[in-house]
Chain A
Amino acid sequence: MTALFYILLVIAIGIAMWQIISIFNLKGVIATEKDNNTQGILFAIFGIFFYGLMIFSFWKYSVILLPESASIEGARIDNLYVVTMLLILSVQAITQFLLFYFAFKYRGIKGRKALFYADSHKLEMIWTIIPAVVLAGLVLYGLSVWNDVMDASDADNPLIVELYAKQFQWEARYAGADNELGRANVRNIKGINTMGVDMTDKNSIDDIPTRELHLPKGRQVIFKFRSQDVLHSAYMPHFRAQMNCVPGMVTQFSFTPNMTTQEMRANKKTIAKVEGINKIRAEKGEDIYEFDYLLLCNKICGASHYNMQMKIIVEEETAFNSWLSGQKTIAEVVQ
């Protein structure tokens, strides 16, 4: 019944609006010189609003953005991002200005004839070739970063970690002393062996399963991703890292953390962001928040998709090693 009420309300508003308009201007259907003038001026005003909105958003919302990258590869991505954004914003500023300015400047006047100007090969060459050259540069730069980020074949003594996704939880498995992950398949899942590790594989014995992700600063980490049920995506925004977890196959991504959790907490941008968050939390009477790196799920995976997360702790290599040596191997866990 309430639904019907809402629908009737909308119809009533529509009819009321029509009535109001028809009192003033029932027959107004084609733009007159006066309309051209008003609407042209409105475009000029809207142009100002448009630039205002852009500048306001950059000023007001830059504090909510991610702080600087916490990985070496991510820093390269950020540089590419800055270059691209500068390009985008300058093109945006120029073209939108021309659009709104022309809409204002050439608003129709009775009796004036427009310029008959159908073609100019010179102009068209200009705006074909310039974008082509700029884009060629952008493609080359972008691809050099992409290849650098995606190619982990030259990694020197990398840490190998498996990230295992399932509705709605993450698990991790470190490759252990031999730095090689044992085989695994969901068909081996049994009891406490929740990741389906194949215990007959000798590489499996020293693997270390954990529910928290610790990473050493300065050492390249190669992640191997698996999923147990549906697609998930391992998203680690602070490291500019993301890869889908696909049932039936193993995917890979790698990065080198270069800032410990402690260092990131002391970062100027992080402090500003955390302050902002805590102000909001204080108003709502919630506890104080302390910054942590996170692993999120970023591929729709079901009802609790919005709450599928894992804490990431980046620490100095010695601290990392002592943490890892304190964890039980899978052989110890399963027995």
Chain B
Amino acid sequence: MSNHHHKETFITKYVFSTDHKMISKQYLVTGIFMGIIGVFMSMLFRLQIAWPDTSFSIIEAFLGRHQDGGVMSPDIYLAIVTIHGTIMVFFVLTAGLSGTFSNLLIPLQIGARDMASGFLNMVSYWLFFLSSVIMLSSLFVEAGPAAAGWTIYPPLSALPQAIPGSGMGMTLWLISMAIFIASSLMGSLNYIVTVINLRTVGMTMTKLPLTIWAFFVTAIIGVVSFPVLLSAALLLIFDRSFGTSFYLSDIFIQGEVLHYQGGSPVLFEHLFWFLGHPEVYIVILPAMGIVSEIIACNSRKPIFGYRAMIGSIMAIAFLSTIVWGHHMFVSGMNPFLGSVFTFTTLLIAIPSAVKAFNWITTLWKGNLQMNPAMLFSIGFVSTFISGGLTGLVLGDSALDINVHDTYFVVAHFHLVMGVSAIYGMFAGVYHWFPKMYGRMMNKALGYWHFWFTVIAAYGVFFPMHFVGLAGLPRRYYANTAFPLFDDVADVNIVITMFAILGGAAQIIFLTNFFISIYKGKKATQNPWKSNTLEWTTPVAHVHGNWPGELPAVHRWPYDYSKPGHAEDYVSQITPLYDGEEES
């Protein structure tokens, strides 16, 4: 494997690299770039929600022909809401988060020289890159990008007569997602094979850090569910382009009856959510793994209930594949199915509660090192609880009737899988930045970044629950058509102000990130005094990760503050001393 002998060119080292560490950085930077666009879009539509009919030069500057005198059109409003959702869920929180940290950490933490297939890994990244380019290029088509919501329910997404974004914009969306899914599958298969086959001597499954468990299980859910979205997308392409009727039936639009007969949009909803729901766990599980690792390390304590944590990851993963129908309680499906999905959905609260309590117990009687990564991990636990609890309302079919598709849902999922997963990603970046770039990020900027972000995030999403409980549907271009919602306008202004604060706070992060790559303080080998294997590799990257032999593992990764050791951490490569009991 070791590549010391032949020289690497710029192209093989930085562009078409097969080294997992470089690919991980490529994922991260692409993810951050997409994140900037996704967050910026949310700023634009928050302006519209708070101050409809008000002219903004920033809207005039960025939306071109889709605005009139600084006021965006309803069609482009729906389009940027759609693309915001798509970019954040898939491009930032799936590829950006899982792609970055699975690639970086799987080989390093299990003691492998690289991924099982470096080539497949490279192809996976470049397909992701291609799908990002196609998604972004859809922003520039004449009629605007896809605008049927990130869930792209047909017939709206199938008929350009229904909304302009369902023309070329939607075609590009579908092509982009099909390529994205191929990329995601290559990545996931690679992760699974690597974890199963390439663990170093002594690294049994029960000695794996929780990060690896989370990435491993995430990859399995991805392989199980993403192909279903691909088939859903393919059938939609057939309906759109070849006149089939998988999802369409009995449609009269713009004065004419369309030929479609016998299809059902409900079928699409089933197929979409069969991926769509596991997808939120594909997003959140890696963040959970990252947070578990960072909380244990910075508390200087073993993660509480290691085996229960693994069990709950598996329970959540299993349940995630049998709950999709809770997005469809009022879709017209049989109410009996609604009962079944209510039951399975509320079951997820049990492993989730176990995880939350285990994190809190890990903090108890710890010696907390308040590094920026730790702050974001604590923030993660807080938003995961806040957002997760309202799932008890939405998962209960009877209660869902009245809050379905309102801002209550928007507040719920942003807290539990949007903000939480982003916190997990930030935590990961702060923690593993020295491993990626050999330098450290600045902590003062990290603190400012955290506190602004956490205040802004709660400032946005806490009041938003009330907007939903007032009955305001999501995806409304303006609520000026209803005097009933006039008193919600003030709340929306508060939310938008916090959103702008939160968006602006990310400039702190970007500054810190990009300047630290070049100017940050040089990292030491194990800056956080961590037990896991990645901190036994040299600071400067070498192909094959360890210059000599691969390390052998003798203990689990959570021997922090173990009695009988002088230091408060014991690396996994340290053999047990005579008479030491394994934890």
Contacts and interface: CB of A to CB of B under 8 A. Distances in A.
B413 interface: no
Interface in A260-288: 273, 276-277, 280-281, 286
Contacts of B12: none
Nearest to A279: B487
A304 interface: yes
B389 A242 contact: no
B86 interface: no
B402 interface: yes
Contact of A77 (B252, B335, B363, B402): B402
Contacts of B561: 113-116
Nearest to A275: B487
A158 interface: no
A103 interface: yes
Contacts of B440: 29-30
A53 B443 contact: no
Contacts of B368: 36, 40, 103, 106-108
A135 B346 contact: yes
A230 B156 contact: yes
A325 interface: no
B136 interface: no
B248 to A, nearest CB: 7
A84 B466 contact: no
B447 interface: yes
A296 interface: yes
Given A99-B381, A113-B300, A309-B481, A146 B330 contact: no
A17 B508 contact: yes
Given A21-B442, A40-B370, A135-B349, A99 B360 contact: yes
A298 B365 CA distance: 49
B51 interface: no
B206 interface: no
Interface stretch (A61-69, A200-208, A211-219, A314-322): A61-69
Contacts of A280: 486-487, 489-490
A302 B162 contact: yes
A243 to B, nearest CB: 5
Nearest to A281: B486
B397 A102 contact: no
A160 interface: no
Contact of A3 (B62, B251, B257): B62
B342 A143 contact: yes
B2 interface: no
A2 B252 contact: no
B293 interface: no
Nearest to B162: A230
A115 B366 contact: yes
Interface string B421-458: 00000000000000000001111110100010011001
Contact of B367 (A85, A106, A241, A243): A106
Interface stretch (B182-190, B211-219, B233-241, B261-269): B261-269
B521 A29 contact: yes
A178 interface: no
A145 B396 CA distance: 10
Contacts of B357: 95, 123, 127
A29 B441 contact: yes
Contact of B475 (A5, A99, A123, A305): A305
Contact of A306 (B250, B342, B397, B476): B476
A281 B483 contact: yes
A88 B393 contact: yes
Contact of B382 (A14, A99, A119, A247): A99
Contact of A240 (B339, B363, B402): B402
Contacts of A147: 335, 339
A186 B255 CA distance: 11
A3 to B, nearest CB: 4
Interface in A227-262: 228-231, 233, 235, 237-238, 240-244, 246-249, 251, 253
Interface string A5-19: 110001001110110
A128 interface: yes
A66 B257 contact: no
A98 B302 CA distance: 19
A246 B332 contact: yes
Contacts of A145: 398
A28 B392 contact: no
Given A80-B396, A116-B561, A187-B250, A39 B444 contact: no
B250 A36 contact: no
Nearest to A46: B454
Contact of A29 (B162, B443, B462, B508): B443
B278 interface: no
Interface string A34-55: 0110111011001001100110
Interface stretch (B107-115, B193-201, B304-312): B304-312
A103 B162 CA distance: 52
A31 B304 contact: no
Nearest to B390: A88
Given A63-B487, A88-B390, A296 B156 contact: no
Contacts of A306: 74, 475-479, 481
Interface centre among A64, A80, A107, A246 (most CB of B within 10 A): A64
Interface string B541-582: 000000000000000001011110000100000000000000
Contacts of B74: 303-306
Given A10-B507, A114-B561, A298-B405, A246 B266 contact: yes
B484 A146 contact: no
Contact of B265 (A36, A119, A247): A247
A157 interface: no
A61 B300 contact: no
A298 to B, nearest CB: 4
Nearest to B563: A116
A240 B347 CA distance: 25
Contact of A235 (B386, B473, B483, B487): B473
A154 interface: no
A64 B488 CA distance: 7
Interface stretch (B15-23, B147-155, B531-539): B147-155
B392 A237 contact: no
Contacts of A114: 299-301, 365-367, 560-561, 568
B469 A39 contact: no
A251 B328 CA distance: 13
Contacts of A75: none
A300 B367 contact: no
B488 to A, nearest CB: 6
Contact of B253 (A27, A106, A228): A228
A42 B451 contact: yes
Contacts of A146: 335, 338-339, 342, 396-398
B361 interface: yes
A231 B378 contact: no
Given A116-B561, A302-B163, A95 B251 contact: no
A43 B377 CA distance: 13
B507 A127 contact: no
Closest 3 CB pairs of A and B: A248-B249, A2-B61, A237-B471
Interface of B: 57-58, 60-62, 73-75, 78, 148-149, 153-156, 159, 162-163, 248-253, 257, 261-266, 299-308, 330-332, 335, 338-339, 342-343, 346-347, 349-350, 353-354, 356-358, 360-361, 363-371, 374-375, 378, 381-382, 385-386, 389-390, 392-393, 396-399, 401-402, 404-406, 440-445, 447, 451, 454-455, 458-459, 462-463, 465-467, 469-471, 473, 475-479, 481-484, 486-491, 507-508, 510-512, 514-515, 520-521, 527-528, 558, 560-563, 568, 583
13 contacts: A31-B371, A39-B370, A64-B470, A80-B398, A114-B300, A115-B561, A116-B562, A120-B304, A142-B399, A187-B257, A229-B251, A246-B264, A247-B251
Given A13-B507, A242-B405, A289-B486, 13 more contacts: A49-B455, A84-B393, A92-B386, A95-B360, A106-B368, A113-B568, A117-B302, A117-B304, A131-B350, A138-B396, A150-B335, A298-B404, A298-B473
